Structure 1
Amino acid sequence: MKLGNDWWTSPTESESGRLVMVTGRRGVEKARESGKYNIRVEITWKYSGNSAGMPDDPTSTLMEAVQNAMTDVFDKDPVAILTGIYTGDNERNWIFYCTSVHIFEKKINLALATFDLLPISIYTENDPQWLEYDEMREASEITPSDD
């Protein structure tokens, strides 16, 4: 299954009114419609941000390296698809949709094995309708025709 690798970025606000940059992935409709990617995985990294709630340069650089490691693993074995990234209000959230929590766990451990202990938490939820993805698009005013 060929996935798009076209991304958009849009500002929005957190519940506390702070800036959050939302980056979403286009071209995921085939994966969504396949019915295989029913589990949403949210990886959250809380950090001490600057006055705007954004990460400092060293933290941002480390987050980019972590993200590259994750996408490298899942690009080779697409048991999970990165669909969105939220950065702001002192946290970054990566949103994946996956086929199996058990396999995701193995792959994420492989992806992050070279890093020291990271300040992340992982949450999973069944989301076969991709409701979070739809909410992300609505919050960022991206319409389905943009896919």
Structure 2
Amino acid sequence: MALPDLDTSVGHSFGLEIDGIVIKQISEVSGLKMEQEAIELKQNTPDGKYVIKKLPGRPKAGEVTLTRGLTADNSFEKWVKDAQFGKMADARKGGAIIVYDYEGNPLKRYKLMNAWPKSLEIGALKAGDTSVLTEKLVITYEQLEVE
């Protein structure tokens, strides 16, 4: 059931799906953004005034960062290795960040086209620290579509 017109979603109910496989335990998604270039057209009006018009340009590729607690799951590492060794046919994947409503139904899907992992970062290791150890995966994508 969709949200009523005046209700909004909350930022804690989301999931990640890569090539139909749901990746669990994602704690944060950041950098999800649709952007395109702006083209400046400089010209004079018929009465001689200088104006600058902004026109839509090409869409820009983007990057999204996924954070999760470190577990025995090595799917991120395997995906990064494919990209590092140039196996781009295996590394480029389609995926989606899915936002759910209060009842757990999909509200929006942010589809990532031709996505591949750019980097994997493990959180700081500190003696005596009691915080959760995390891994951050930066995924670059060629196009973002919203459904």
TM-score computed with the length of structure 1 as normaliser: 0.28
Which structure dedicates a bigger proportion of its chain to strand? 2
Q: Greater CA radius of gyration, 1 or 2?
A: 2
Which has the higher relative contact order, 1 or 2, with Cα contacts under 8 A spaced 6 or more apart? 1
TM-score computed with the length of structure 2 as normaliser: 0.28
